[in-house]
Amino acid sequence: MHIHHITEENSILSTFVSELRDVNIQKDSMRFRRNIERIGEVLGYELSKKLRYGSKQITTPLGIATANLPENEIVLCSILRAGVPLHHGLLNYFDDAQNAFISAYRQHQKNPESFEIVVEYLACPPLSGKTLILADPMLATGQSMVATYEALLPFGVPKEIHLVSVIGARAGVSYVENHFSADTHLWIAAIDEHLNDKGYIMPGLGDAGDLAFGNKMQN
């Protein structure tokens, strides 16, 4: 797998990530969503450098200009609900992409420290021969990313796969590296070293879905 850890180099991206982590700034849910969206834009820009390009002639009011433009047929799939702002950021740059959405969540059994990934909702166009961008802001254990891709397989095998995350743990990065093909690309803003005993990224930022959209309803 090709791993692109973007904040290894200095850029404005580090500002957006730092604000996501800050317990005071993240109280503003609108700013939290916007920062994830901006990170999606930055990661989308970096990802675009690996797409296929072809020369096209563009008619201007004064003549003809030549431009190299992307030729990939992209399907952008995000994991609900935390993935929605990241999806928006990527869609700002890949505005002609087809869209897919899937719900994948942790279902805890009697032991709160163990869980399985449950997929309940899925809407997806055909994937065969296309470029799949699979977006999930938090790459903790990596199980959600793998379960999501497996759920998409009935729609066809994509030609290329790009995984996009905001923050991941080393364990999650290793997990997806072992479960996706060697030519898969992972685009990630920041990688943290540890997971806690409940499978959450440390130091991470908390629950991205709750911070973006409010606390989940409790049974």
Q: Domain ranges in the chain?
A: 2-50+73-213
Q: Is 161 exposed, middle or buried (0-12, 13-18, 19+ CB in 10 A)?
A: buried
pLDDT (tens digit per residue) in 15-61:
999 999 999 999 999 999 999 999 999 999 999 999 999 999 999 99
The reported pTM is 0.91
CATH number for region 2-50+73-213: 3.40.50.2020
Provide the pLDDT for residue 219: 44
d(Cα 160, Cα 178) in Å, to the nearest integer? 17
Letter for the amino acid at 214?
G
Q: Measured between alpha carbons, how far is residue 151 from residues 83, 111, 154 in Å?
A: 17, 26, 7
Nearest CA-CA partner of 79 in 136, 164, 126, 122: 136
Contact yes or no for 102/79 (Cβ under 8 A): yes
Provide the pLDDT for residue 109: 57
What is the residue-level pLDDT of the chain in tens, covering all 219 positions? 999 999 999 999 999 999 999 999 999 999 999 999 999 999 999 999 999 999 999 999 999 999 999 999 999 999 988 899 999 999 999 999 999 999 876 554 555 545 455 777 899 999 999 999 999 999 999 988 998 999 999 999 999 999 999 999 999 999 999 999 999 999 999 999 999 988 889 999 999 999 999 887 554
